[in-house]
Copies of this chain bind each other. A is one copy, B any other.
Amino acid sequence: MTVRFGVLGAGRIGQVHARAIASVDGATLTAIADPVNAAAVSVRDAYGCDIRTIDEIAASDDVDAVVICTPTDTHADLIEQFVRAGKAVFCEKPVDLSVARVKDCLKTVAAENGTLMVGFQRRFDPDFQALKQAIDDGKIGDVEMVTLISRDPGAPPADYIKRSGGIFRDMTIHDFDVARWLLGEEVDSVQAAASVLTDPEIAKLGDYDSLNVIMTTASGRQCTINNTRRATYGYDQRIEVHGSKGSVRAENHREANIEIANADGYTRPPLLNFFMSRYTAAYAAEIASFVDAVTNGTATVTTGHDGLMALALADAALQSVAEGRVVKLSEITG
Q: In whole angstroms, what is the CA distance A160 to B247 when docked?
A: 27
By CB atoms of chain B within 10 A, which of A129, A196, A256 has the most? A256
Contacts of A266 in B (CB 8 A): 233, 254, 267-270
Which of A233, A247, A258, A262 has the most chain B CB atoms closer than 10 A to its own CB?
A: A258
Given known A262-B233, A264-B270, A267-B267, contact A224–B224 (CB-CB < 8 A)? yes
Q: Does A123 contact B (CB under 8 A)?
A: no
Q: Does A53 count as interface, using CB distance less than 8 angstroms?
A: no
Q: Indicate if A15 sits at the interface (CB-CB under 8 A).
A: no
In the complex the two chains form, is A248's CB within 8 Å of B244's CB? no
Is A255 in the interface zone, CB < 8 Å from B?
A: yes
Copies of this chain in its oligomeric complex: 4
Q: Is A324 an interface residue (CB 8 A)?
A: yes
User: How far is A269 from B233 in the complex, measured between Cα atoms in Å?
Assistant: 17
**A126 CA to B250 CA in the complex, in Å?**
22
Chain A interface category by residue count: 35 or more
Is residue A260 contacting chain B, with contact meaning CB distance below 8 A?
Answer: yes
A173 to B: closest C-beta gap in Å: 19
Chain B residues near A157: list those with CB within 8 A: none
On chain B, the residues within 8 Å of A211 by CB distance are 222
Q: Does A139 contact B (CB under 8 A)?
A: yes
Beta-carbon nearest neighbor of A149 in chain B: B147
In the complex, A162 has a CB within 8 A of chain B? no
Chain B residues, CB < 8 A from A127: 256-258
**Contact pick for A258, options B149, B249, B269, CB 8 Å:** B249
In this assembly, does A85 line the interface, its C-beta being within 8 Å of a C-beta of chain B?
no
A44 shortest CB reach to chain B, Å: 16
The answer to whether A246 touches B258 (Cβ under 8 A) is: no
State the Cβ distance, A308 to closest chain B Cβ, in Å: 24
Known contacts A210-B144, A224-B224, A269-B130; is A262 also within 8 Å of B250 by CB? Answer: no
A206 at the interface (CB under 8 A from B): no
Give 28 A-B contacts (CB < 8 Å), ordered by A residue: A127-B256, A127-B257, A127-B258, A131-B258, A139-B260, A140-B260, A142-B197, A145-B212, A147-B226, A191-B193, A210-B220, A212-B222, A224-B226, A231-B242, A231-B247, A231-B261, A232-B246, A232-B262, A233-B263, A233-B265, A245-B262, A247-B262, A249-B258, A265-B268, A265-B269, A266-B268, A267-B267, A325-B326
